[in-house]
Amino acid sequence: MDHRLRFVLIVLIGVLFDQASKIIVVEYIPLFQSIEIIPGFFDLTHLRNPGGAFGFFADKSQNIRVFVFVFMAFIALFLILWFYKTTDKNLKWLRISYSMIFAGAVGNLIDRIKFGYVVDFLDIYIKDMHWPAFNIADSFISIGMCIIVYHVLFNKIPDF
């Protein structure tokens, strides 16, 4: 498959899956309510994250937050495309990782522009210890970053 087509497919699938999941959560789970999936470990919880990762900048005004996060997202998207274009075509998994990060950034950017916040709903916890809630876009970004970290640490791409 042509690398450009793979990039577009990964981005489309990631953004569509992310946005569809958020629409379902917003439509069917009231804000701050949860649906228990795995008792004591995993819930679907409808939350709004006005800040960045781990609530960064959440205490700033909405106008400042939206401007900063949209501006940063566009810079990140530009850099991701640049990394993608300058990466050797033989490094397929590294290029896939950039595609996944791009998809996640676009998914969360859509939320920022549309709502002024990001819809989060994946809630992992043990007893009272909760990992910050996240979404499909965040998952795409995290998986893409894990592939990059593996490549940097071991100077190779995982053989899946």
Interacting residues of 117 by C-beta distance below 8 A, sequence separation 6+: 48, 49, 50, 65, 111
CB burial string 5-19: b at 16+ within 10 A, e below: eebeebbeebbebbb
Whole-angstrom distance, CA of residue 78 vs CA of residue 67: 17
Query: Is 138 tagged catalytic?
Result: yes
Q: Which residues are catalytic?
A: 120, 138
